[in-house]
Structure 1
Amino acid sequence: MPAPLPPVTFDVAAAYPQVAAGRDALAAGDWPALRALVDAQDAHGRTVLVGEVGGAPDAEPVLRGVLAEHPEDPVAGAMLGAHLIRVGWRIRTALRAQHVSRKQFADFFDHLRRAEQILIEVTARHPQDAAAWTQRVTSGRGLQVGQAEARRRYDRLAAHHPHHLPAQASLLQQFCPKWSGTWEKTHAFAHECAEAAPPGAANAVLVVEAYLEQALDHDRVAAASQFLREPAVAAGIRAAAERSVWHPDYRDGWGWVWVRSTFALAFCLMQEWHPAAREFAALGGFGDESMFGYFGDGATEFQRLRAKAYAKAGRP
């Protein structure tokens, strides 16, 4: 009888202990400790901490207090901007626009406009701040600033951080048809990012995400699976894996749970169970449910597909 599968945690703080430490410092009101933690990370880590710690429900009073004393602090400003964006997006929900009420949209735009005012100040004083620019790419999408302005914001960031995956992932959404883009733009940008990044970097996951977005736009699992199994698409996904998670220089770093979860979902839908099982095994007890949620409850779907991959291919 096979051993039971380990439970899966989808809490970002479990996969990245710095997030847990940051949340603890915020809850304790220990800004020096939180600031030191953020400053010790690379640009990707700073961006993750700004979003995840700033997104805490009780973050606003602490961050406004810090900004009152230190109005030029870029971390406090970026975190408060991230907080307002997350609150606004929770109000809007992830539903298609036709299912969002006028009141929800009004509150959503209000939060994003307030975030913009703060983030404009941060990026003006600190134009190299990847975390603040990443938040501006996201807020710009919600405020419908348009493709050209969204790209301008990303390009300002990329001048200092040319392979910044969090911002690339946010801009990729802007180029999808659901945000008034096109599949041609979506795939072109994904390949641009993948090909510019060094071999073994995680950026090639964007190619997979672009294919998944197009596949999942069909709204039916069978149709999505058929699309991903088309020879050219399947070859593109395998090539992305060879360039990233299967490359000998690849290392799990910031964002690795999302990266491997994205590949796992794609291989499941392609019915390529051995590579899917390989990615689930590499994830261990961690998972990112975001794209699995297209089919219902993300956590449930993640665990269902993991069990199916192991049943089909064995557990590596």
Structure 2
Amino acid sequence: MPAMIGSSDVVLDVAVAYPEIAGLRAALRRRDWPACRALLDQLEPSARSAALSSCAAELGLEEFLRGVLTADATDASAAALLGHHLIHVGWEIRSGRYAQHVSARQFHRFHDWLRRAEQVLIDAAARHPRDPAIWTARLLTARGLQLGLAETRRRLDRALTAQPHHLPAQLQFLQSACPKWNGTWELVHGFARDAMQAAPPGSPHAVLVVHAHVEHIFGDDDTDVFRYLADDAVRTEIYEAAHRSIWHPEFRHGPGWLQALNAFALIFTMLDDRRSAATAFAGLGNLAAEYPWNQVGDDVNAQVREARAWAYEGAS
């Protein structure tokens, strides 16, 4: 259920939207791996992948998880989480800046951590070739180590073979398809559109279409935002995506629901559509996600508060 704490509160913790993440965090902090496995084993694949990646930032996981794997080298969840954790450490060193603003030392340490993650994940993928969480993590290492789009696509295909429409993997591939990682806007939009249309109606996969447009708006210096959003084809695609997902009667609070409503709240705000933005914010309650609001400005809380107040004022 959406969190309703106060009229101006913004809750950015995904664990409030997805209780399984809160449970996994608590078990990890107790270093209770049997409890972690009991929780993870009951999740459907997309929820499991999302929970594993969401807990990657927990402190001190490497020693603990290597101990778990020493006791049982076949534990796929421990390997996937360790891989995600090592990737997270590396990406924190690199930062989210464009390459020209990252030092040679940062790149060296970043790649070192990603190679350590790859060693864990290669072994895990050999043992568990149909585990989409492992392939989702390997999409991140492929991007960071710049292994190329062909290899990245191969890893996506392995994830989708394990579970068709695996949204965590598709979201990672979308980032890799962007020009900042040597992809193209044609690839970004084509992939997002095809993935959304292939997924069942009412699924959250339309988030891919919105993320594609947001990346294009903020990732291309030559893009005129107002002209881009005034394009009839762009607007039509966004509204068709909403009808296929968050406005579809089959839309549910399953894996990806927060990200979908959050993305539409932003894009409708950018489209100056108060009524549609208000419907997305109403579905969120006080919840939001950092991305893609952090593309607009550093203070995500302020961005969401202001946009939500604007939407509700105009829709009342």
> Given the two structures, how large is their TM-score scaled by the length of structure 2?
0.95
Structure 1, unmatched stretches of 5+, are: none
In structure 2, what residue type is equivalent to 1:255? G
Is 1:39 the counterpart of 2:41 in the alignment? Answer: yes
Structure 2, unmatched stretches of 5+, are: 1-5
Q: Deviations over 1:37-72 (max 9, x none)?
A: 000000011101211223312222211110111111
Name the CA distance, whole Å, in 2 between partners of 1:39 and 1:233. Answer: 40
In structure 2, what residue type is equivalent to 1:191? R
In structure 2, what residue type is equivalent to 1:312? G
Is 1:296 the counterpart of 2:300 in the alignment? Answer: no
The CA RMSD over aligned residues, in Å, is 1.5
In structure 2, what residue type is equivalent to 1:9? V
Higher-RCO chain (CA-CA 8 Å, sequence separation at least 6) = 2
- In the TM superposition, residue 228 of structure 1 has moved relative to its aligned partner by 1.9
- The share of aligned pairs that are identical, in percent, is 46
Is 1:234 the counterpart of 2:235 in the alignment? Answer: yes
Name the CA distance, whole Å, in 1 between partners of 2:25 and 2:155. Answer: 28
> Given the two structures, how large is their TM-score scaled by the length of structure 1?
0.95
Is 1:130 the counterpart of 2:132 in the alignment? Answer: yes
SS of 2:246's partner is: coil
In structure 2, what residue type is equivalent to 1:65? G
Q: What residue in structure 2 maps to residue 105 of structure 1?
A: 107
Following superposition of structure 1 onto structure 2, how do residues 152-167 of structure 1 map, counting pairs within 5 Å?
152-167=154-169
Bigger mean CA offset, 75-84 vs 206-215: 206-215
Checking the alignment, whether the CA contact within 8 Å between 2:24 and 2:39 is kept in structure 1 is yes
Match of 1:13 among 15, 31, 43: 15
- In the TM superposition, residue 6 of structure 1 has moved relative to its aligned partner by 4.3
SS of 1:29's partner is: coil
Name the CA distance, whole Å, in 1 between partners of 2:90 and 2:226. Answer: 33
Q: What residue in structure 2 maps to residue 115 of structure 1?
A: 117
- In the TM superposition, residue 283 of structure 1 has moved relative to its aligned partner by 0.1
Following superposition of structure 1 onto structure 2, how do residues 64-79 of structure 1 map, counting pairs within 5 Å?
64-79=66-81
Q: What residue in structure 2 maps to residue 171 of structure 1?
A: 173
Change (3 A) 1:6 1:300: closer
- In the TM superposition, residue 309 of structure 1 has moved relative to its aligned partner by 1.4
Q: What residue in structure 2 maps to residue 139 of structure 1?
A: 141
Bigger mean CA offset, 91-100 vs 4-13: 4-13
In structure 2, what residue type is equivalent to 1:213? E
Match of 1:62 among 53, 61, 64: 64
- In the TM superposition, residue 226 of structure 1 has moved relative to its aligned partner by 3.3
In structure 2, what residue type is equivalent to 1:313? A
Q: Deviations over 1:107-132 (max 9, x none)?
A: 11011110011011111111111111
Following superposition of structure 1 onto structure 2, how do residues 272-287 of structure 1 map, counting pairs within 5 Å?
272-287=273-288
Q: What residue in structure 2 maps to residue 201 of structure 1?
A: 203
